[in-house]
């Protein structure tokens, strides 16, 4: 692929690629072996490198497309994560180690539809297999971007493209029982559009998708709609909340209520730090 463009962002803080891409919010970025990552976002393939120098960082994006504004928004570079982290630390010292160790998490500005489908696939599944499933979907139904850094890359399929898939084809992609959920999603998306309103209203709208329950809806709220009040509780978060705050492992309602009152507007940020930190410790 010719026409590779290089975009550079200087003087950045509170950013680390591994923490952004490995914290469980996205599934299409892969590490190259040297700390840089290759992935696809918004129909563009990209290779991203982060360089730390003194107190600041520089992000270099080599991409097949996407404006400077697009990538700035995608990496959420205009949001002050330092302030959010300081606010969380001031309210709860139990976050000290997680925030200190995983300092550079940012919530990517991902496409709503892609997040919706990705987290339907994620249920009762593990991250390596989720990534394979999503890559298969892109390869089978997404627009071919072209060869980029030694591999042909594919955009995530649009709702119209995924609507073309038959149940038999989806089953052949080894999606498991979730294939029926994916088969139903494009039409529902066409009818409902992108949810608006309060967090509760959006959450409720998401629950009307087959295959979307409370946990997946919270992931979509946080990663697809950038609602930082969302606090997804999966099997890992149940263990973490039980261990850290003394909840009964099954008391998900109590955990949700606590997160809402205790972390408020920054629940999603707190959740990401806790999830990623404790998961990386196994």
Stretch (H or E) spanning 62: strand 56-63
For position 262 contacting DNA by CB under 7 A, the verdict is no
> From residue 81, how far is each of 181, 189, 234 by CA, in Å?
35, 32, 24
Count of positions on this chain that bind DNA (CB under 7 A): 40
Binding track, positions 154-193, relative to DNA; x by CB under 7 A: -----------------x--xxxx----------------
> From residue 103, how far is each of 142, 163, 240, 268 by CA, in Å?
34, 40, 19, 15
Binding track, positions 235-254, relative to DNA; x by CB under 7 A: xxx------------x--x-
21 versus 71: smaller Cβ distance to DNA = 21
Segment contacting DNA by CB under 7 A, of 12-20, 22-30, 57-65, 191-199 = 22-30
CB of 212 to DNA, least distance (A): 5
CB of 35 to DNA, least distance (A): 21
Q: Kindly identify the residues of this chain, within the stretch 124-143, that bind DNA according to CB under 7 A.
A: 124-130
CB of 164 to DNA, least distance (A): 20
Instruction: Compute φ and ψ for 8, nearest 5 degrees.
Output: -125, 135
DSSP structure class, residue 39: E
For position 272 contacting DNA by CB under 7 A, the verdict is yes
56 versus 210: smaller Cβ distance to DNA = 210
Segment contacting DNA by CB under 7 A, of 31-39, 52-60, 140-148, 207-215 = 207-215
Instruction: Compute φ and ψ for 265, nearest 5 degrees.
Output: -65, -15
Segment contacting DNA by CB under 7 A, of 4-12, 84-92, 95-103, 211-219 = 211-219
Q: Identify the three-state secondary structure at position 6.
A: strand
> Contact 41/28 with Cβ under 8 angstroms?
yes
> Contact 249/213 with Cβ under 8 angstroms?
no
Angle at alpha carbon of residue 230, lines to 225 and 232, rounded to 5°: 110
> From residue 209, how far is each of 168, 220, 228, 265 by CA, in Å?
20, 12, 21, 25
Binding residues for DNA, rule: CB under 7 A, are: 23-25, 122-130, 171, 174-177, 207, 209-217, 219, 232-237, 250, 253, 271-272, 275, 279
């Amino acid at each position: 692929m010719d026409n590779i463009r290089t975009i550079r962002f200087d003087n950045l803080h509170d950013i680390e690629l591994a923490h952004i891409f490995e914290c469980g919010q996205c599934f299409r970025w892969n590490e190259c072996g040297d700390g840089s990552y290759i992935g696809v976002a918004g129909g563009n393939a990209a290779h991203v490198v982060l360089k730390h120098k003194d107190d600041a960082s520089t992000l270099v994006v080599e991409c097949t497309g996407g404006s400077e504004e697009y990538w700035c928004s995608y990496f959420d570079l205009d949001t002050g994560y330092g302030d959010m982290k300081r606010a969380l630390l001031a309210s709860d010292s139990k976050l000290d180690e997680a925030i200190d160790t995983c300092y550079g998490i940012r919530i990517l500005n991902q496409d709503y539809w892609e997040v919706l489908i990705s987290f339907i696939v994620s249920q009762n599944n593990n991250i390596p297999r989720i990534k394979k499933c999503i890559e298969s979907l892109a390869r089978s139904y997404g627009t071919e971007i072209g060869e980029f850094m030694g591999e042909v890359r594919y955009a995530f399929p649009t709702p119209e493209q995924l609507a073309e898939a038959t149940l038999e084809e989806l089953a052949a992609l080894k999606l498991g029982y979730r294939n029926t959920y994916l088969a139903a999603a494009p039409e529902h998306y066409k009818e409902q559009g992108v949810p608006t309103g309060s967090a509760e209203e959006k959450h409720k709208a998401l629950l009307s998708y087959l295959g979307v329950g409370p946990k997946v809806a919270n992931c979509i709220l946080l990663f697809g709609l950038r609602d930082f009040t969302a606090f997804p509780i999966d099997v890992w978060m149940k263990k973490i909340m039980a261990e850290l705050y003394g909840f009964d492992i099954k008391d998900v309602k109590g955990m949700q209520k606590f997160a809402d009152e205790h972390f408020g507007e920054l629940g999603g940020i707190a959740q990401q730090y806790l999830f990623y930190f404790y998961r990386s410790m196994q």
